[in-house]
Chains A and B, each alone.
Chain A
Amino acid sequence: QSALTQPASVSGSPGQSITISCTGTSNDVGGYNYISWYQQHPDKVPKLIIYDISDRPSGISNRFSGSKSGNTASLTISGLQAEDEAEYYCYSYTGSRTGVFGTGTKVTVL
């Protein structure tokens, strides 16, 4: 159950688009559609922003989008805003009937 691999940090200017990758194996990301993404601001509770690879919960901005190719899932934030500065985590169900989170990515808005 090794954590999924995410870049430690990603940055962008307001209005730009950024993409965060989440790399696993065929036993987790590559094998299932139960991929989700979470946003966590400092000292706050994580918040679901994408589930089932690319679906958004009610109330989540369409600036957030998800995709998957092979063993890598991606989260794209378009029209970057100051409020998007946070830590982002991916999650995948695994073939071992367990779940695994990514290592986390700190997004900085320049």
Chain B
Amino acid sequence: QVQLVESGGGVVQPGGSLRVSCAASGFSFRSYGAHWVRQAPGKGLEWVSFIRYDGSEKYYSDSVKGRFAISRDNSKNILYLQMNSLRVEDTAVYYCVKDRSFGTPRAFDIWGQGTMVTVS
């Protein structure tokens, strides 16, 4: 069964740090690009970050560039998002998402259930 399971969300004070993780199973995780997408309460979807299948390239939205870092461990099938200098406006559900391709932010075909991050 193809699955993405996020963990690590919680409540953190402004200026603090948090790392969320995503465990992949049921498919060849190392063969696909992966994203983090967030959704603030009652708001729309916001693309946050993308990492190529091999971790060789990483892209970020302007709103998180310089504060967040995406990484992956293909030996463990895990995707990470390290979030530093957190702001109140970073409060959202963070989704781990598999891309259809290996190297370009193309389309999101498998979504995790999300993990809630509250900055307060």
Contacts and interface: CB of A to CB of B under 8 A. Distances in A.
Is B one of A's binding partners? yes
A62 interface: no
Nearest to A40: B45
A45 to B, nearest CB: 5
Contacts of B61: 1, 98-99
B45 A38 contact: yes
Contacts of A104: 44-45
Interface in A65-110: 87, 89, 91, 93, 97-104
Measured as residues with beta carbon below 8 angstroms from the partner, the interface class of chain B is 20 to 34
A46 B104 contact: no
Contact of B46 (A87, A93, A97, A101): A101
Contact of A51 (B62, B104, B107): B107
Interface stretch (B14-22, B24-32, B84-92, B109-117): B109-117
A9 B113 CA distance: 26
Measured as residues with beta carbon below 8 angstroms from the partner, the interface class of chain A is 20 to 34
B95 A45 contact: yes
B35 interface: yes
A3 B35 CA distance: 17
B88 to A, nearest CB: 20
B62 A1 contact: yes
A45 B105 contact: no
B106 to A, nearest CB: 5
B107 A89 contact: no
Given A45-B111, A97-B59, A34 B104 contact: yes
Given A1-B62, A45-B95, A99-B35, A93 B106 contact: yes
Given A46-B111, A89-B44, A91-B108, 11 more contacts: A46-B95, A47-B111, A48-B107, A51-B106, A57-B109, A87-B44, A89-B45, A93-B106, A99-B50, A101-B44, A101-B45
Interface of B: 35, 37, 44-47, 50, 59-63, 95, 100, 104-109, 111-114
Interface of A: 1, 3, 34, 36, 38, 40, 45-48, 51-52, 57, 87, 89, 91, 93, 97-104
